[in-house]
Amino acid sequence: MRQIVLDTETTGLSTTEGHRIIEIGCIELVNRRITGNHFHTYLNPDRDIDEGAERVHGISRDDLETAPRFGEIVDELLDFVRDTELVIHNAEFDVGFLEHELTLIEHGKPRIKQHALVLDTLTLARKLHPGQRNSLDALCKRYEVDASNRELHGALIDADLLARVYLAMTGGQTAMTLEESAATLGRNDNGGPRTAGNREGGRSAELDLVVVRATESEAAAHDALVEKIRKSV
């Protein structure tokens, strides 16, 4: 099963005010494992960035002067996510912005669900933890996902955090720390930010692991939990 954990950064909060996407980050999961394959790009929005948004992600308009525009990377993005399940936190926000961008370039298939399924981890978290804070930061703390290396929000680093939260929230585990993944995912070989086309695949080193097999009752309890989560999505 192939899933893509996706996050965006934008010039502001609402497409109705003409705000645009300025960064897209995608992390690939295959059979619930982070593969190291990813898609990442900054985008030139051809407009100013709200001060409040810039305080969150630290990206200025000057930083994006030489970045591609959405229409230049759309084919590569859609190829990367096609026929997968997109895992997005507060999916309504990111999907709304992506569909806005597709509409602006008059794409023939402007609806995200024409390209991929969508799983909203915010909706899932609210069902699993009703009445609690379910922001990405809160979930990182709850599931002990190390976010200490993040100083500002960024689409790729937030997608990486969400991938680890999602796996923990649905019963999985991962081995890489945020510091390790940020070092490989957030920068290219020259130390600069990755852009469209910076997609890499790789395998972690072979590990000598002690395998402890579940008892029949533990396996049954696990299957029941997975079925409960599947029905809640």
**DSSP designation for 193:** B
Phi, psi (degrees; rounded to nearest 5) at 18: 80, 15
CB 23 within 8 A of CB 8: yes
Angle CA 111–97–142, to nearest 5: 110
* The two structure tokens encoding residue 20: 């645009």
Bridge partner list, 99: none
Active-site residue (options: 38, 89, 100, 153): 153
CA–CA gap between residue 206 and residue 42 (Å, rounded)? 34
C-alpha distances in Å from residue 4, one per residue of 83, 177, 180:
10, 19, 20
CA–CA gap between residue 70 and residue 64 (Å, rounded)? 12
Q: How many residues are given for the chain?
A: 233
Could you give the residue ranges of the DSSP H alpha helices within 12-154? 51-57, 70-81, 91-104, 121-128, 136-142
User: Is 38 one of the annotated active-site residues of the chain?
Assistant: no
CB 59 within 8 A of CB 204: no
Bridge partner list, 3: 29, 85
Q: Could you list the active site residues?
A: 153
